[in-house]
Amino acid sequence: MTASQWLAKQRTVTFWPLRLAALYGVAEGLLIIAQAGLIAWLVHQVVMQNQAVSNLAAAAAFLVIVVLLRPIFQLLKARSGIQASQTIRSTVRQRLLLKAEALGPTGFNDKSRGELASQLTDQVDALDGYFARYLPQLFIAVAVPSAIALTAFSQDWLAASFLLLSAPLIPLFMALVGMGAERLNRNQFTALSRLSGQFLDRVRGLTTLQLFNRVEDSVDDIVHASDEYRQRSMRVLRVAFLSSAVLEFFASVAIAVVAIYVGFGLLGYIEYGPAPSLTLFSGLFVLLLAPEFFQPLRTLAQHYHDRAAALGAAELLLELDQASEPASDGYSPNEAPANTAQPADLAVPQPNLTLEAVRIERGEGGGGRVGGGRVAVLNVPHFSAQLGERILIEGPSGSGKTSLLLAIAGLLPVSGKLDRHFKNPSIGWLGSPAFLANTSIRENIRLGNPAASNSAINAAAQKAGVTEFLPRLPDGLDTVIGERGLSLSGGQAQRVALARVLVSTAPLVLLDEPTNALDAETEKTILESIDRLAEQEHLIIIASHDPILRQHVDRHYQIVNGQLEHITHV
Amino acid sequence: MSDLLPYLRLFMRYRARLALGTVLMLATAASGIGLLALSGWFITATAVTGVLLAAGVAVAFDIYVPGGGIRAFAVTRTVSRYFERIVNHDTVLQLLRDLRVNLFKSIARLPPTAAVRLRSGELLNRLTTDIDRLDGLFLRGIAPPIVAVLAIVITMLLLLFGSVALSLSVGLTLLALAGLSLGRGWLKGQASTSALAESNAQLRAGTIDHLQGLADLQAFGSLRHHRDRLLTIERYDHALNADTNIRVATGESILAAGLQLSMVGVLLFSLYLYGTGTVSGAIAVMMPLALMALLEPLGVLPAAGWHLARARASAVRLREDMNQTQKSAHTASRTDIVQSDKPTLCLTNIYLTRGAGATVLNNVSLTIQPGECVGIVGASGSGKSSLASLLTAQLTADSGSIFINGHRITAIAYKALFNQIACLTQQTDLFSTTIADNLRIAESGNSRTGTAKLWEVLEAVQLAEFVENCPDGLNTWVGESGTRLSQGQARRLALSRVLLRDPPAVLLDEPFSGLDSKTAENISDYLAHWLQGRTTLLLGHDRKVLPPADRWFHLENGDLKPIDS
């Protein structure tokens, strides 16, 4: 599918707004014809027929109504276009968001995550002008000039043919304008983005520039790059502007030719065709229509950059739209994992979690598949555990501890048998580094259990030691954190993430390096919480290389050469 | 408006070009008015004359002057529009350069402690948006009102054919209409622009959260909860956007209605004047047609008001961002010059807290003797990078002192400091330019490093082979619009920059992050040799993957403890 095909497909989600926008635009075009006719008629009556203006009140009133209706339709057109664009962008954004969710946490690496975020925000919004303005105008630019040409034809076929003569040229105009505008866009936008990229990476890398005492030279670089960009883009622009100048030229010349033809005709200098029967009414009518014939095309040309911007965005969005989702023998990461039916024989207690001959493939260093590179394999011949147990999985960094946790959580597709039998499908998760959303601490804790009451959140914050540093925050639990707010230290972030685990009702808790880089106090809180959760009949699985955790677990595994092995305590 | 003053002053530098651009814009508008008005006049005059001629009355009518005028206007409209675009775009591109240079100069004046903030994605994002908006300030915000006023004046001159009263009353009505449209756009823009920026930033942050926290959200089963939150933000953002767009469209409709009504008024009045014999039929037609042609120059005013409001908001935000960034820095005079082949680096009783009062460094003291190599290991987040930042004046400690060769670091001129110490920061900064230029950033002074030297440092970090195989060799463009380097390659390029610098003191923060163990080992061997005789601080999480050091320390919970060898 090409970008333009993809764009065309998106419009199908909304039917009426786009068509209404076009129809309102056409209605406005018809009103323009009526306005021109009424003006010409009034002038003719007064100037040629010597009627007093006061006798023409009805026509004047009619003209006022037409003149007032035009802006109303203009507004309706804009509103419908805006509505259409909004519906389409919302639909596209939601679909792509679900798509990103389906790709799963391992479906993209850090770099593509930034790109993905920009696709979901900026690129989707770049579609706005195309649907709100360009598409309706595309229809208007065909319909309205046709109606105007027909009207002009009814008045004076020769004058109309001056307009119509340019009609076969219209597709040519469009192509010209299109090519010009497209080239303009391609060149200008890529050059501009390169330029601002250069500017921004110098701002971003200012520290490095300072460390090398190179800040002053960078100013010269920016001047240099900008000037080069200016010269290059001016060369392109000089040509690109010609195409719109052609349209401008035809519009101007059409008015001039019609005016001169009509003038000569009225003087009786032209014996040929309909010219002798020209009146001030028909002549003025056609003259007033001449600029309006070209106006929709000129408007379309102005909206052409909307199309180019949308096409550019579509290319990127299309890529995401068509990205293949991971095929999984295990759980689909998209939905909450389903519970397998409990076996009938309840006499023998069944383990709650079983992995049998599980094979996990993952990108090197825990990265995503998108990142490419080598694929490492982790084999789990047998592993089972039940509520109330604390299990430690050790292994050097990069051996696949995190991947194993992701697989157990159903977030990484695996082959083999992976069964979870828990009444509650949700899972307590503490990643490394702890994830904090750009929102209040309260909302961050609530992510562990959206249904949690405020008092439950307060209790969890208390247990996780979040309340200890709350007095130093401006709004307590409602302080917004993250890049858009206050920054927390690693230990503080870990406590918030722990509170999230504690507020959750999940029976299975997965902790990834929970004691990494923590102060002694936070570490103590974490260890206490692990013990307490186990007492409260949770199954806790910890991936870590921190030996201190060995004293807080019941069983201990190690990843050796891509294989999970049980270690018996000495 | 005063917030835009610095930018208006910047424009003044180009007043001749801007004036030319404005004149050309005006010529375009005037030709448009002239074309339509003269054509109307011509048709009506010929119609009247034609009737007289047909009745056998001998009248003289000069068809050549108005005919020529019409043709001339048709041509001048096209030509002036074309050149207006060329001239104005050229000016805008020059302004764009000046805007960036000015902004960068004020950013460059920031002390290193403040520069660190600029790495934040959100601040950068804001900078880009704001500077883009200021780019359009002249063409979309300032020129349209000027042209509109001048076009109205031309129309008023044409209306003088009718009567002075007509000209004045219509002119004032039009000016009021134009002023109202612009003012309405400006006011509504003021009201919505900051809310729009905020909701947009929230949508972006929410989206990044959703992707970043996907594992957590899916595990906890709160994916839907967070998605709903995100979609609520999106709906709000869309509603705000739609509201703004509809407001602009409403402004345009109100303006169009006012203008068209004025046109009808002028039409009826001039026809009445014709009835009283005050004006000829041709003049009576010319006057309303002149008004009709005003739609083009006046139609953009509501959007112009909005652009002005947005540009102002951007100017304010830029200033605030700069002020805030500057505030985080102290401005003591730095005049000391250190110059030594083997400087001593000394930290005494350093305390450092960050975020909401969390202790990062707790009474840390360390002296690195001239030519000595000290290694510090610790988990990520244990404060190693803070040590590097302290030693390069990017951070100031809450208490304690740092001495470089006996000089207090707060008194050393930055230039002198950075000539002494080279630092491989934890974050790799590459610039979108060629590989050679990325390396040459490390040149000291104005001497241009020969390519042989460049190849030598690339060889040292085992990048030479890769660069040789690049189509443009050393001139291969890297970064956003060029070849993308892998994380490991970028790291090595940054490291080779430090090698090229050849400094007396070196700080290497996680030098081998992103490298496979074999490559890291090889480079480590080279570094072991290269670091001999340089005062060195190595930072990492595992001493096994770092070059050998004379002494090792462990940094944990803010405490620095020696490791026995």
Note the pLDDT tens digit of each residue in A289-305: 998 998 898 888 788 77
pLDDT digits (tens, 9 = 90+) for A137-180: 999 998 999 999 999 999 999 999 888 887 666 667 666 656 66
Q: What is the mean pLDDT of residues A14-21?
A: 93
CB spacing of B216 vs A201 below 8 angstroms: no
CA distance B494 to A282: 76
pLDDT of residue B482: 54
CB spacing of B63 vs A264 below 8 angstroms: yes
Q: What is the mean pLDDT of chain B?
A: 88
Does residue B398 have a pLDDT over 80? yes
The Cα of B526 is separated from the nearest Cα of chain A by a number of Å equal to 22
Amino acid at position A96, single letter: L
CA distance A373 to A388: 39
Residues in chain B: 565
- Best residue of B25, B100, B134 to probe chain A, by most A CBs closer than 10 Å: B100
pLDDT digits (tens, 9 = 90+) for A326-343: 654 444 443 444 444 344
CA distance A233 to A13: 38
CB spacing of A89 vs B238 below 8 angstroms: yes
Show me where the domains of chain A are located.
Answer: 3-321, 353-567
pLDDT digits (tens, 9 = 90+) for A479-508: 988 776 677 877 888 999 999 999 999 999
pLDDT of residue A188: 60
CB distance B500 to B439 below 8 Å: yes
B100 closest CA partner among A232, A219, A213, A216: A219
A538 closest CA partner among A407, A392, A352, A349: A352
Cis, peptide link before residue A433, omega less than 30° from 0: yes
pLDDT of residue B186: 94
Does residue A111 have a pLDDT over 70? no
Does residue B174 have a pLDDT over 90? yes
CA distance A260 to B63: 9
| Range of weakest confidence among A78-87, A223-232, B61-70 | A223-232
CA distance A412 to B73: 70
- In the sheet with A390-394, reading across from the earlier edge strand, the strands are A415-420, A353-363, A375-385, A563-567, A555-560, A390-394, A539-543, A508-512, A427-430
CB spacing of B358 vs A519 below 8 angstroms: yes
Does residue B234 have a pLDDT over 90? yes
- Pair of tokens at residue A119: 């696709």
pLDDT of residue A191: 64
User: Which DSSP symbol is given to A552?
Assistant: G
Does residue A344 have a pLDDT over 70? no
pLDDT band at B433, cuts 50/70/90?
A: confident
pLDDT of residue B339: 82
Residue with the bigger pLDDT between B465 and B127: it is B465
CB distance B360 to A489 below 8 Å: yes
pLDDT digits (tens, 9 = 90+) for A299-326: 887 887 788 788 888 988 888 888 776 6
Query: Chain B neighbours among A 358-397 (CB < 8 Å)?
Result: none
The Cα of B397 is separated from the nearest Cα of chain A by a number of Å equal to 16
Secondary structure element (H or E) that encloses residue B552, with its range: strand B551-556
Strand pairing of A563-567 and A415-420? unpaired
The Cα of B280 is separated from the nearest Cα of chain A by a number of Å equal to 9
- Pair of tokens at residue A132: 């709100």
Answer whether A283 touches B (CB < 8 Å): yes
The Cα of A472 is separated from the nearest Cα of chain B by a number of Å equal to 6
CB distance A359 to A563 below 8 Å: no
A353-567: CATH architecture = 3-Layer(aba) Sandwich (3.40)
CA distance A127 to B310: 21
User: Which DSSP symbol is given to A120?
Assistant: I
CB distance A88 to A70 below 8 Å: no
Does residue B387 have a pLDDT over 50? yes
CB spacing of A252 vs B206 below 8 angstroms: no
CA R_g for chain B? 34
Q: Which phi and psi (to 5°) does residue B95 adopt?
A: -60, -40
A3-321: CATH architecture = Up-down Bundle (1.20)
Secondary structure element (H or E) that encloses residue B539, with its range: strand B535-540
- Best residue of B17, B33, B46, B437 to probe chain A, by most A CBs closer than 10 Å: B46
> CB within 8 A of B410, min separation 6: which ones?
B330, B332, B334, B393, B396, B402
The Cα of B272 is separated from the nearest Cα of chain A by a number of Å equal to 6
CB distance B388 to B368 below 8 Å: no
- In the sheet with B559-563, reading across from the earlier edge strand, the strands are B421-424, B505-509, B535-540, B373-377, B551-556, B559-563
Residue of B nearest to A285 (CA): B40
The minimal CB distance from B221 to the residues A132, A426, A487 is found for A426
Which chain A residues are closer than 8 Å to B419 by Cβ?
A: 213
Residue of B nearest to A492 (CA): B358
Sign for the CA dihedral angle at B59, B60, B64, B70 comes to: negative
Give the HSE-up count for residue B241: Cα atoms under 13 Å, Cβ half-sphere: 24
Q: Per DSSP, which regions of A255-366 are E strands? A: 353-363
Q: Is A480 helix (H, G, I), strand (E, B) or coil?
A: strand
Question: Tokens 């270690």 correspond to what residue?
Answer: A567
Query: How far does CA A445 lie from the centroid of its chain?
Result: 27
pLDDT of residue B247: 93
Which chain A residues are closer than 8 Å to B358 by Cβ?
A: 469, 488-492, 519
CA distance A353 to A384: 5
pLDDT-above-70 percentage for chain B: 96
Answer whether B562 touches A (CB < 8 Å): no
Q: What is the mean pLDDT of residues A277-291?
A: 93
Q: Per DSSP, which regions of B326-370 are E strands? A: 345-354, 358-368
Q: What is the mean pLDDT of residues B468-484?
A: 76
The Cα of A347 is separated from the nearest Cα of chain B by a number of Å equal to 31
Q: Which phi and psi (to 5°) does residue A356 adopt?
A: -130, 120
Q: Which phi and psi (to 5°) does residue B149 adopt?
A: -65, -45
Does residue A423 have a pLDDT over 80? yes
Which chain A residues are closer than 8 Å to B229 by Cβ?
A: 439, 443
Answer whether B68 touches A (CB < 8 Å): no
Does residue A451 have a pLDDT over 60? yes
Which chain A residues are closer than 8 Å to B380 by Cβ?
A: 516-517
Q: What is the mean pLDDT of chain A?
A: 84
pLDDT band at A345, cuts 50/70/90?
A: very low
pLDDT of residue B483: 60
CA distance A493 to B380: 14
- Pair of tokens at residue A220: 């010269």
Strand pairing of A353-363 and A415-420? antiparallel
Which chain A residues are closer than 8 Å to B223 by Cβ?
A: 101
Which chain A residues are closer than 8 Å to B202 by Cβ?
A: 438, 484
CA distance B152 to B148: 6
Count of CB atoms situated within 10 Å of the CB of B42: 28
pLDDT of residue A481: 86
pLDDT digits (tens, 9 = 90+) for A253-273: 888 899 999 999 999 888 888
Answer whether B267 touches A (CB < 8 Å): yes
Largest CA distance in chain B: 123
The Cα of B299 is separated from the nearest Cα of chain A by a number of Å equal to 12
pLDDT of residue A446: 95
pLDDT digits (tens, 9 = 90+) for B94-113: 888 888 888 888 887 777 77
A469 closest CA partner among A452, A447, A502, A491: A491
CB distance A244 to A301 below 8 Å: yes
Domains in chain B, ordered, with CATH? 2-325 (1.20.1560.10), 345-563 (3.40.50.300)
